[in-house]
Amino acid sequence: MARKPPDPPPAEDPDDAALFRDAIGPVRELPAPPLPPSKPRPRPTPRMAARDEAEAVSEFRRAMTADALEAGDALSYRRDTVAPRTLQRLRRGEFAAQEELDLHWADAKTAEAMLREFLVHARQHGLGCVRIIHGKGLNSDSKTPMLKNLVDRMLRHRSEVVAFASAPANQGGTGAVLVLLAQKR
């Protein structure tokens, strides 16, 4: 039997990409994508503001210690509405303290909170005279009686305080202060 002749070699298939380009027609090239953003620059350091802040803190500390009370200094203050004679009587201990607050060994933050709470409590209960023991500051690291100065500053700014003076020697001397409070309205 005769053999069948081999199939003719297949015709070359046209390039698929060329067929696609012929089918869609002319195209325009897309622009190149933008480059990714670069690493952001660091924020500028506010050196002048930091220096000004440091100077302000330093000046504040200097001002606080410039008129600071020493260990043996006596506290004394009265509002204009209080007679000078009343302050003299307070210094001599003629007013009986109805309550007492001892701030020994408290740090400044704790002492401030305790003093605020104590004065609010005294005002709410209608107390007229209280004693605050702040100590003489002889064991203070800074050689300035921190609690004594804190008590002095705070009492001067409290509206319920009308006068205060260091206690007589038999009630604590310069390590304690007697405080007259305004009458509860």
- pLDDT surpassing 60 at residue 10: no
Q: What is the pLDDT of residue 108?
A: 86
Contact 166, 177 (CB under 8 A): yes
Integer Cα distance of 130 and 81 in angstroms: 19
Domain boundaries, the chain: 73-181
Bigger pLDDT: 123 or 59?
123
Whether the pLDDT of residue 12 is over 70: the answer is: no
Overall CATH class of domain 73-181: alpha beta
**Residues 47-100 pLDDT 10s:** 888 888 888 877 766 665 556 676 677 889 999 999 999 999 999 999 999 999
Asked whether residue 121 carries a pLDDT value surpassing 90, the answer given is yes
Distance CA 164, CA 95 (A): 11
Residues 6+ apart with CB under 8 A from 97: 129, 130, 131, 171, 178
Q: How many CB atoms lie within 10 A of CB 82?
A: 15
Per-residue model confidence (pLDDT) at position 132: 94
The pLDDT tens digits of the residues spanning 129-166 come to 999 998 877 666 666 788 888 898 899 989 899 999 99
3-state secondary structure of 123: helix
